[in-house]
Amino acid sequence: MTHTKQQMTRVRGTVTALSAAAFLATLAAPAASAHSAHAGHHASSARIPFTQAVVTAAATPGTYEITWKAPGTRHVTVKANGRTVASGGSTGKVKVTGLPAHVDRQWFDLTPDHGRGLRLADRLVKLDGAVNFRDAGGYRTTDGHWVKMGEIYRSDALDKLTGADLAKLKRLGIDTDFDLRMASERSAAPDRVPSGTSYVVADVLAGQDTGTTLPTTEAAAVAMMTEGEKFMVSGASAKSAYQKVFGGIADGDSVLFHCTAGKDRTGWANAALLTALGVPRETVMADYLASNDYRAEANAAALASMPPEQAKVYKPLLDVRAEYLNSGFDEVRKTFGSFDAYERQGLGLSKSELRDLKRDLLV
């Protein structure tokens, strides 16, 4: 994701709510298989005692940190590749080293002394040609279910994926790639997807591809992003696009959805999915804001290429901020009255489809 000062300095104009996507378009020029990720989904109906659990890959290959909270349990065993690699009590934080360095994803099985266990991996799927490709799952709902990992993925642009990246994605078993980008973005940077993966255009801003009109003040940039978020909720093309995506998910497919930076159009798609599944708002927000971490290096490089005053104006376009996502949820209430109504009218999910969605994606 690179651009020049000359590109930035020649862009001027009035603010529109939809031009941030066009701006981003100018910047964008396993040992455990997907099948194994599904293993154990129907093995037990016992309650999962974990209230928190996360796997984080360290900078050193083959090293991971696993943390958990499982109130009411006495002992938790952590296994990787069929062998015990750590254990602890009801609350644990362990560092595991010496695991294979070159695997698609390193999965861990967290097994409590009673109740059902969890199968987790680091949320980020490391690729050479994308920086924000991650699993949508691994989160707990308000009623104690967990969103399965290895089912739904979100990403930034896919045009720079390498042959090794494509091989890795094929092994993940992704059925359908939903491209949320505008026609100009798709033309300039066509997706690369594995053979056998269906490609579907789900253009959130269809018909809004009118060029790059950018803000001239920091406040105008923030306003652009909040207004753009509202359009993702109530805009006609946005509703049509997200209905395609959620239709694919409801059909039980293993789905990938993405835009250019993987943070705005993609961010709302994942926020809506997690909310529909019952994940609490603070968790949804944390997942949304994580794009700032995954995109930190790319964003810093983009801003470093601009004069300081210009960088100040454009930084809000590269960020994700709580006020952006909150403006989307505010638009849901204003336009639809409730998120339940948005599920039906905005995402096109019937009650039976929502039940199926939860049955397929929750454990």
- Amino acid occupying residue 288: Y
Query: What's the pTM?
Result: 0.87
CATH 3.90.190.10 segments of the chain: 5-32+125-361
Residue-wise pLDDT for 293-334, tens only, equals 999 999 999 999 999 999 999 999 999 999 999 999 999 999
Cβ(122)–Cβ(107) below 8 Å: no
Does domain 36-120 sit in CATH 2.60.40?
yes
What backbone torsions phi and psi does residue 120 show, to the nearest 5 degrees? -135, 155
CATH 2.60.40 segments of the chain: 36-120
Structural tokens at position 82 = 């069929």
Residue-wise pLDDT for 47-85, tens only, equals 999 999 999 999 999 999 999 999 999 999 999 999 999
Dist CA 243 CA 266 (whole Å): 13
pLDDT on residue 22:
52
Residue-wise pLDDT for 82-110, tens only, equals 999 999 999 999 999 999 998 999 999 99
pLDDT on residue 41:
41
Dist CA 326 CA 305 (whole Å): 30
* Residue 94 bridge partners (DSSP): 66
pLDDT on residue 31:
34
pLDDT on residue 24:
52
**Residue 352: burial class (beta carbons within 10 Å; 0-12, 13-18, 19+):** exposed
Residues tagged active-site:
259
**Residue 304: burial class (beta carbons within 10 Å; 0-12, 13-18, 19+):** exposed
- Amino acid occupying residue 140: R
CATH class of 5-32+125-361: alpha beta
At which residue do the structure tokens 């997706």 appear? 191
b/e map 315-324, b = 16+ CB within 10 Å? bbbbbbbeeb
- Amino acid occupying residue 237: S
Within 13 A of 128's CA, how many CA atoms are on the CB side? 10
* Residue 96 bridge partners (DSSP): 64
Block means of pLDDT (10 residues each) for the chain, 363 residues, are 36 39 48 38 68 97 97 97 97 97 95 96 97 98 97 98 96 96 96 96 83 84 96 97 96 94 98 98 98 97 95 96 98 98 96 95 96
